[in-house]
Amino acid sequence: MYKEINTIEEAIKRYKEPVDLEKMKSAVAFLPKQIAGGMLALAMLQIAVWTVNNDDPAVPEWKADFNDEDQEKWFPWYRGGNSTGSGFRFYGTYCGWTYTHSAGGARLALKDEERAEHMNEFFQELYKQLWLILE
């Protein structure tokens, strides 16, 4: 179940195809540090979100469909933050139906509020690395 996915390592183990974390890190190593951190965080969050959304093999794969007005799409929502990460904090969860915006788009959408809260609880540091330009 998704509640057991509390680390990126656990998410990688349960992902739909093999993932080599060290290769992911080396793939962005040529970029400036401030860019590489955000790119790596995005890749890790995409793996974690897919794994949390698709934790039951008996249920068909869930994908955010922005053409489906009836499908809820949830995101953890944050406020504040500076280049040291100070002030970055969880603000709540947000549900968007038919549009994408800076919350993360289809790649970071979660299928329910509980999963969005779970992602915040265990993966907030990755969201911070994605949304802020850290020193």
DSSP 34-70: HHHHHHHHHHHHHHHHHHHHT--TTSPPP---TT-TT
C-alpha span between 121 and 92 (Å, rounded): 11
Name the strand (E) or helix (H) holding 106: none
Q: Which tokens is 35 given?
A: 């860019």
pLDDT at 5: 98
pLDDT at 100: 47
pLDDT at 98: 47
Instruction: Count Cβ neighbours within 10 Å for each residue of 80-105 and write b for 16 or more, e otherwise.
Output: ebeeeeeebeeeebeebeeeeeebbe
Domain count across the chain: 1
Range of the structural domain that residue 37 is part of: 2-131
List the chain pLDDT tens, one digit each, 135 residues.
999 999 999 999 999 999 999 999 999 999 998 899 999 999 999 999 999 999 999 999 999 998 888 899 999 888 777 766 677 878 877 776 544 455 567 899 999 999 999 999 999 999 999 988 876
Strands (DSSP E) found in the chain:
73-79, 89-96
